[in-house]
Amino acid sequence: MIVLYVLFFAGPLLLLLVASLLDESLGGSLRTTNWTKFFSDSYNLGAIVRTLRLGATIVCTTMVFAYPLALVARFGPAWLSRTIVLAALLPFLTSVVVRSFSWIAILSRDGALNTMLTGLGIVSEPLRLLPSELGLVFALTQIEIPLMLLPTLVALRRIDPRLTEASEALGASTWRTLTRVVIPMSIPGLLAGSVFVFSSSVTAFVSQSIIGGSRLVYLSSIIYSGAMITFDWGSASVAALVLLLSAGTVIALALRIGGRAERAIYG
């Protein structure tokens, strides 16, 4: 097992680190030139901020939509719960490329969303949603909702029904039971979903390219450009490691908080 870990995970990371330190102008010697050049460019720093902001935004938007659905699936009729779970699983049978392109038909100037908004008189002229970060948020929210919904639903189903029954028996309203019992006990599931959504959205190169366009530059775009267009493997390696480290730091913090919350709840 350790050998497989070294070969398929630690090995490529080590090669990536070496590539980020190679300075071809000095005969391939190991230097921090690529790192210095990367962080001295405001273009790259803006990409880092934009990437992390996109991940945090998608976590928030998916949580807003997924949590009510998870509550309905947990406490609603059995047929409705099965329907919601099936609807959450079905997108996994479709390529993310297909789903991203389908959003072009929805978000374009003559697409379904603008047609509906102008038809209802909400806007006087079609909104410019392609390419835009707002359109990307719409698309990624729909794509990533299952990754937030399913872990949250698992956490909700772990809640002992006797706890909610005891809360209601003691005179607590439905809202108070929700805020004092259900939501606190579902925090581990929300944090697990946040980890999945964040890691998936910050690395969603296909959706970022198709919906965001070339004007919105994220770390994944810099990696692709350096590796496949300019063949600047040093810069591409630095960008890849920065993406890995920044996303890994956020994920590690979320897992730490989730572990503490789970121990506090379940002992």
Are 96 and 162 found together in one domain?
A: yes
Are 85 and 199 found together in one domain?
A: yes
Cα–Cα distance measured from residue 262 to residue 59, given in angstroms and rounded to the nearest whole number: 20
For residue 28, pLDDT beyond 70? no
For residue 1, pLDDT beyond 70? no
Are 27 and 45 found together in one domain?
A: no
- Which percentage of the chain shows pLDDT scores above 70? 94
Q: Is residue 69 part of a domain?
A: yes
Q: Is residue 198 part of a domain?
A: yes
pLDDT of residue 56: 92
Cβ atoms of 191 and 165 within 8 Å: the answer is no
| Mean of all residue pLDDT scores within the chain | 83
Cα–Cα distance measured from residue 258 to residue 89, given in angstroms and rounded to the nearest whole number: 24
Are 235 and 107 found together in one domain?
A: yes
Cβ atoms of 237 and 20 within 8 Å: the answer is yes
Q: Is residue 36 part of a domain?
A: no
Q: Is residue 98 part of a domain?
A: yes
Cβ atoms of 127 and 160 within 8 Å: the answer is no
pLDDT of residue 165: 77
Q: How sure is the predictor about 69, in pLDDT bands with cuts at 50, 70 and 90?
A: very high
Are 3 and 58 found together in one domain?
A: no
pLDDT of residue 6: 67
pLDDT of residue 169: 78
pLDDT of residue 79: 87
CATH assignment at residue 45: 1.10.3720.10
- Token pair recorded at residue 6: 């070294």
pLDDT of residue 16: 84
Are 116 and 208 found together in one domain?
A: yes
Compute how many other C-beta atoms are within 10 angstroms of the C-beta atom of residue 256. 11
For residue 5, pLDDT beyond 80? no
Are 7 and 115 found together in one domain?
A: no
Cα–Cα distance measured from residue 63 to residue 23, given in angstroms and rounded to the nearest whole number: 44
Are 100 and 213 found together in one domain?
A: yes
Are 23 and 109 found together in one domain?
A: no
Q: Is residue 59 part of a domain?
A: yes
Compute how many other C-beta atoms are within 10 angstroms of the C-beta atom of residue 99. 16
Higher pLDDT, 10 or 188: 188
pLDDT of residue 224: 87
Q: How sure is the predictor about 151, in pLDDT bands with cuts at 50, 70 and 90?
A: very high
Cα–Cα distance measured from residue 12 to residue 2, given in angstroms and rounded to the nearest whole number: 15
Report, as an integer, the average pLDDT of 172-176.
Answer: 80
Q: What type of residue sits at position 137? A: V
pTM given for the model? 0.87
75-120 pLDDT, tens per residue?
A: 888 888 889 888 888 877 777 778 888 888 888 888 788 888 888 8
User: Domain limits at 121?
Assistant: 41-266
CA angle 225, 228, 234 (to 5 degrees): 70
pLDDT of residue 133: 86
Are 15 and 55 found together in one domain?
A: no
Number of domains the chain is built from: 2
pLDDT of residue 68: 92
Are 142 and 172 found together in one domain?
A: yes
47-65 pLDDT, tens per residue?
A: 999 999 999 999 999 999 9
DSSP single-letter state for residue 146: H
207-250 pLDDT, tens per residue?
A: 888 887 777 889 888 888 888 888 888 888 888 999 988 888 88
Higher pLDDT, 143 or 126: 143
Are 15 and 114 found together in one domain?
A: no
Cβ atoms of 20 and 34 within 8 Å: the answer is yes
pLDDT of residue 257: 78
